[in-house]
Chains A and B, each alone.
Chain A
Amino acid sequence: MALSGLDIYKLLPGGQKPPHPKANCKECGFPTCLAFAMKLAAKQAELAACKYVSDEAKAKLSAAAAPPIRLITLSADGRKIEVGNETVLFRHEKTFFHPAAIMVRVPDTLSAAEIAKLAKAAADYKVDYVGMALQLDGLAVEAASGDANQFAEAVAAVRGACAMPLVLVTEDPGLMAAGLVKTAGVTPLLCAATAANWEAMAKLAKEAKAPLAVRADSIAGLAELTEKLVAAGVEDLVLDPAVRSFSGSLQTVTQLRRLALKKNYRPVGYPLITFPYLGISDPALEELLAGQQVAKYAGFVVLSKFDPAMIYPLLVLRANLFTDPQKPIQVEPGVYPINRPTADAPVMVTTNFSITYFAVANEVESSGLPGWLLVADAEGMSVLTAWAAGKFDAEKIAKTVKNTGIAEKVSHRKVVIPGHVAVLMGELEEELPGWQIKVGPREAVDLPRYLKTAW
């Protein structure tokens, strides 16, 4: 976290005790060291303007300018994922920046054919959600067999089948080296260094220029390892807090995020990797723990299996929580023809919140019935929220009907408004003389039935 103006002031000549001879010398162009410090904190001045600041202070200030959680990149054949660089504990404070990478475990105990099939299925998985293509991010190949050849073959099989970023999972440096041989074209994450193997793992990570995960079951243990690894020249690190249960994981990752952001504690300023399937008492709970870790505060989440019924909700949860609260996903206001509407097709109005739009459009589309969907500019809010905030009132709806020129496209003068804003009917009749206002269902899901029976 960036230093405050007062923190910076303490590092400048004016903030020294006893005062530095050049305290408040004004040579930087500011009247006092404190004023200069405030400008530095606001990033409106450069530290170079002060000739008298000590080297030690310079080092502290430049360290403070680095992001509190390091950005880590995994790449493969042009595909890359980035995690880290987060700045808040709650999304409402600003936003979460880099969506947690969701990966699938590939144990090397599967046959080469099974591995190729699994890798291909995961790599090809793609699902559309409100116009976004949601995908899995990578594969975690695990040396479950304990055999170097088998692990190397498994990595080769994965590489042969797909171009996804990889995590290599083993605590045995010999196995890790065998796997690494087969990763040409990929910068994999090596997982994991422990108190027992860190020197050998550090060597492998340096040679491969690959990021390295460190595993320990306490925060102090993680910090000790990262300090050693940074001293050994490995800087791209990931933390694997081996506290895996719902409760343990939540508390540990919260503590890690707080230490990184609020205390600027560098030894834990790295993204996290989690393995939800290792923290549950019942396989049915894997998705819920994975969801918890997407929300709090994993950078990589490794799933035990490829199951679309589990992956789809999880990818949607991630898309939701990593949406910038200041910028709800919006669609362009205007008129949207669905199923080739003609002049007698129904006219419906909704808001430009993407989820609202897609809910309505999907229902009409799947009903097979033609319709004209008018999308009002409600600043990206859903019907109820926009109505409560005064962004979806009679005036706005009337304006949408007029501005879209729908009157020239249809032969009738009827418009359906969402059931949630039925109260606007009277007012809207005044705003839109000559139009019949019809109150539709509250929920999009009931639209097909409404269109069949009530239009």
Chain B
Amino acid sequence: MPNVEIPVEKWIGSIRPITLGATTAEGGTRSQTVTIGGEKTLPFLGFEGKAPNRPRIAVEVRATNPAADWPAPLVTAWGDVLGDLAAWTRAAEGTDGDIIVLQLSANDNNGQKMTGAKARAALRTVLKTTGLPVIVFGVGQAELDNELLVAAAEEGAGERLVLGPCEDKNYRTIVAAALANGHLVTSRTPMDVNLSKQLTVLIHDMGMPLERIIVDPTTGALGYGIEYGYSVMERLRVAALQGDGMTQQPMIVTPGEEAWRTKEARAGEGVPVAWGDWAARAVNWEAMTAATLVESGANIVVMRHPEAVGRVKKMIGELMTA
């Protein structure tokens, strides 16, 4: 047989390892921690370099019942736990997820505005119920997020939570709260390599160690611009391996949120027959979105449907062998 010499890239950079969660010995109450990053090669190319930590799946739970907004396949999958944060957290822990995301909402179950005190209570419930590392996401409104995330940061002091998203117009308060209470942050920028680097620099300049910044380069769902997120992530990974220090943060993306707001996931009636069975298509939409992002370099994917979580987890397992 011909002697074929396989081209191997000699990368000089690597992704920064980051640990989520703190055990009792480390000042928190988590029963386990999760470490991401550390890759010295492009995703899953074991012949070329080491990837010591597998990509992780974070499963979303909420204190405010989303059943009225979420489409039937998603609501049915979780059932009654959607109205009970502790039960939902337990159920989420029972999926193949590795991390729990507490997604805060602008209003509580009674339609009242969310407050710092309510956010604290919700986080307390989640922390009491699960031993997994926890991410707390704000609602995306600057003023309200500052109130909610500062409260969450204090409530979870020492837990090495991840707080986010920090965006260019709204990061100082969240970063300060994370710094003061020993947490991590996500740095979210709209699908652009340079904007991602820039916000990492700004957050780092506030004194936040790079070992505590996870970037969210933002993604679109399958069919709704996923190729932009996909290519930005591939470019960030290549730049990181080539040694660009400000692109070496692990990446988190939110395929669950993106996929479940597409018409393909939401609409069961009045859609073409060629779209196929609603529930199957909807789960496929989320799984395919998440899987594609994992293969372009995501370290954490935030997901919603237990079945999609299970599939992507299995896929990651098969990609990490050999």
Contacts and interface: CB of A to CB of B under 8 A. Distances in A.
B2 interface: yes
A251 B45 contact: yes
A285 B314 contact: yes
B231 interface: yes
B288 A291 contact: yes
Contact of B314 (A219, A282, A363): A282
A287 B287 contact: yes
Interface in A379-402: 382, 384-385, 388
Nearest to A279: B318
Contacts of B1: 218, 220-221, 223-224
Interface string B190-205: 1110010000000000
A264 B183 CA distance: 49
Contact of B263 (A287, A308, A362): A362
B27 interface: no
A219 B263 CA distance: 43
B25 interface: no
Interface stretch (B28-36, B241-249, B278-286): B278-286
A92 B292 contact: no
Interface in A306-332: 307-314, 316-317, 320-321, 323, 325
A129 B311 CA distance: 26
B220 interface: yes
Contact of B274 (A220, A308, A325): A308
Count chain B CB atoms within 10 A of each CB in A251, A262, A307 and give the residue with the most.
A251
Interface in A250-295: 250-251, 254-255, 258-259, 262-263, 265, 267-268, 280-282, 284-285, 287-289, 291-292, 295
B230 A321 contact: yes
A246 B273 contact: no
Given A219-B4, A251-B47, A282-B314, A287 B284 contact: yes
B110 interface: no
A413 interface: no
Given A220-B2, A250-B319, A320-B223, A291 B275 contact: no
B272 A128 contact: yes
Contacts of A388: 190, 192, 195
A316 B275 CA distance: 11
A317 B315 contact: no
Contacts, number: 179
Interface string A210-237: 0000000011110110010000000000
A47 B285 CA distance: 52
B135 interface: no
B73 to A, nearest CB: 11
Interface string B245-275: 0000000000000000111101100101111
A92 B233 CA distance: 10
B280 A309 contact: yes
B2 A92 contact: no
B190 A295 contact: no
Contacts of B238: 90
Given A220-B2, A321-B227, A384-B190, A309 B275 contact: yes
Interface string B41-59: 0001111000000000000
A246 B315 contact: yes
Contacts of A247: 44, 46, 318-322
Q: Which applies to chain A's interface (DSSP): helix, strand, loop or mixed?
A: helix
Size category of the A interface is 35 or more
B263 A445 contact: yes
Nearest to A222: B4
A50 to B, nearest CB: 32
Given A287-B288, A292-B295, A321-B227, A259 B47 contact: no
A308 B275 contact: yes
B44 A250 contact: yes
A183 interface: no
Interface string B270-314: 101111110011001101100110011000000000010001101
A245 interface: yes
Contact of B227 (A91, A289, A312): A91
Contacts of B275: 127, 308-309, 312
B284 A92 contact: no
Contacts of B315: 246, 285, 288-289
Given A296-B295, A325-B227, A248 B322 contact: yes
Contacts of A281: 314, 318
Nearest to A219: B4
Nearest to B7: A258
Nearest to B284: A313
Contacts of A224: 1-2
Nearest to A91: B231
Nearest to B307: A284
B291 A292 contact: yes
Contacts of A91: 227, 230-231, 234
Contacts of B273: 308
Contacts of A309: 275-277, 280-281, 284
A435 interface: no
B228 interface: yes
Nearest to A267: B2
B225 A355 contact: yes
B312 A288 contact: yes
A254 B45 contact: yes
12 contacts: A220-B1, A245-B321, A288-B291, A292-B291, A295-B296, A308-B276, A308-B281, A310-B276, A310-B280, A320-B230, A359-B224, A382-B225
Interface of B: 1-7, 44-47, 190-192, 195, 218, 220, 222-228, 230-231, 234-235, 238, 261-264, 266-267, 270, 272-277, 280-281, 284-285, 287-288, 291-292, 295-296, 307, 311-312, 314-315, 318-322
Given A307-B280, A325-B231, A355-B224, 15 more contacts: A245-B321, A251-B44, A285-B315, A288-B288, A288-B312, A308-B277, A312-B276, A313-B288, A320-B222, A320-B225, A320-B230, A355-B220, A362-B263, A388-B195, A445-B262
Interface of A: 90-92, 125-129, 218-221, 223-224, 227, 245-248, 250-251, 254-255, 258-259, 262-263, 265, 267-268, 280-282, 284-285, 287-289, 291-292, 295-296, 307-314, 316-317, 320-321, 323, 325, 353, 355, 359, 362-363, 366, 382, 384-385, 388, 443, 445
